[in-house]
Amino acid sequence: MKFILDREKLLRPLQVVSGVVERRQTLPILANVLLEIRQGILHLTSTDLEVELTARIELPAEETIRATLPARKLMDICRALPEDARIELDLTSNKSIIRSGNSRFTLTTLPAEEFPDIGVIESRNEFSVAQNTVRHVIERTHFAMAQQDVRYYLNGLLWETLEKKLRVVATDGHRLALCDAASPEFTAKDHQQVIIPRKGVTELMRLLEDSEQVITIQIASNHIRFSTPEWTFTSKLVDGRFPDYLPVIPKPGGNVLRCNRSTLRQALIRTSILSNEKFKSISFGIQDKTLRIVARNPEQEEAIEEIEIEYSGKEIEIGFNATYVLDALNALGSDEVDLNFRDPNSSCLIQGVGDEDSQYVIMPMRL
Q: Three-state SS across 294-349? A: EEECCCCCEEEEEEECEEECCCEEEEEEHHHHHHHHHHCCCCEEEEEECCCCCCEE
Dihedral angle sign, alpha carbons of residues 130, 134, 135, 140: positive
pLDDT of residue 88: 93
Q: What percent of the chain has pLDDT over 90?
A: 79
Q: What percent of the chain has pLDDT over 70?
A: 99
Query: From the centroid of its chain, how far is CA 180?
Result: 15
Sign, CA dihedral 76-78-79-81, equals positive
Alpha carbon distance 42, 199 (integer Å): 26
pLDDT tens column, 215-257: 999 999 899 999 999 999 999 999 999 999 999 999 877 799 9
The greatest distance separating any two alpha carbons of the chain, rounded to the nearest whole angstrom, comes to: 79
Q: What is the pLDDT of residue 339?
A: 96
In angstroms, the CA 347 to CA 325 distance is: 12
Residue predicted with more confidence, 162 or 176: 176
Confirm if 33 and 18 have CB atoms less than 8 A apart: yes
Measure the CA angle with vertex 326, ends 273 and 207; round to 5°: 120
pLDDT band (50, 70, 90) for residue 210: very high
CA angle 195, 198, 201 (to 5 degrees): 80
* Dist CA 130 CA 216 (whole Å): 9
Q: Assign 185 a pLDDT band (cuts: 50, 70, 90).
A: low
Q: Rounded mean pLDDT of the chain? A: 92
- Quick one: average pLDDT of 36-54? 93
What does the pLDDT read at residue 100? 96
Domains annotated on the chain, with CATH: 2-114 (3.10.150.10), 125-246 (3.10.150.10), 250-362 (3.10.150.10)
Query: Distances in Å between the alpha carbon of 323 and those of 130, 144, 234, 339?
Result: 31, 11, 32, 16
pLDDT tens-digit readout, 319-332: 999 999 999 999 99
Reported confidence tier of residue 62, pLDDT bands at 50, 70, 90? confident
pLDDT given at position 120: 82
Distance CA 233, CA 225 (A): 6
For residue 252, what are the CA distances in angstroms to 164, 242, 257?
24, 24, 11
pLDDT tens digits along 331-343 = 999 999 999 999 9
Helix (H, G, I), strand (E, B) or coil at 81: coil
**pLDDT over 70 at 40, yes or no:** yes
CA distance 77 to 202: 26
Is the pLDDT at 92 greater than 80? The verdict is no
> One-letter amino acid identity for 181?
A
